Amino acid sequence: MRVLYFGGAFNPPTRAHIELADEVRRKLGYDRVLFMPTKYEYIRFEEGKDFAYPDEMRLDLLRKIARNRDWMIVSDYEIRQEEQPRTYHTLQALKEQYELKLLIGTDWLKKLETGWTYIREICREFGIIVMERDGDCAQEIIADSAFLKELEPYLTIVTVPDHYRNLSSSMVRRAVSAVREGRHYIANAVPEEIVRDLETEEL
């Protein structure tokens, strides 16, 4: 089974996470997208985010979304580990089950040299699909970096719709906190299956 590996906080999952991943999957002819949420401790203390939903809540939100989308796989592999695994190690652990490629956005493309470990190994053994969005030009980003030029043979660039430019998990969290305008924004920002969960959640 050909699967795109999509890791991240999903804090919370947004329509952009779900719909763009499906767009790339369909464009490239993959069977499934595997959503892998990272551990709470990693989000709060390694990434330095000021808030993170608990592990089980983020898993539950993804699983609710996946119920009506047979192309989604939701895994708790990383959350179950004692410490946050590196992406390469998770890919290694799953490669017997799936034919995997890593899926990232152009925001992470810019951080491959400094923010990732074992990135050359990931490229050589799995390959990377890059979602080109938010007005970014992946080819320009690559051209400006000798490191990325070295990795270019392992990168597949896919352009996705740009109407999610202002949609992010952090914006959804702010909307959840803003009672006055939260309900309208949340309903347009996250899959309908999880609107009620977020509207009743207190940050």
- Map out the domains of the chain as residue ranges: 2-162
Domain topology for 2-162: Rossmann fold (3.40.50)
What pLDDT is attached to residue 161?
Answer: 78
What pLDDT is attached to residue 96?
Answer: 96
pLDDT at position 184 over 80: no
108-124 per-position pLDDT tens digit: 998 999 989 999 999 99
pLDDT at position 166 over 90: no
Helix-helix angle 169-177:179-189, to 10 degrees: 150
Q: What is the spatial distance between Cα 112 and Cα 116, in angstroms, rounded to a whole number? A: 5
Contact 15, 191 (CB under 8 A): yes
93-109 per-position pLDDT tens digit: 999 999 999 999 998 99
87 burial (CB, 10 Å; 0-12 / 13-18 / 19+) is buried
Q: Which of 46, 42, 36 is nearest to 100 (CA)?
A: 36
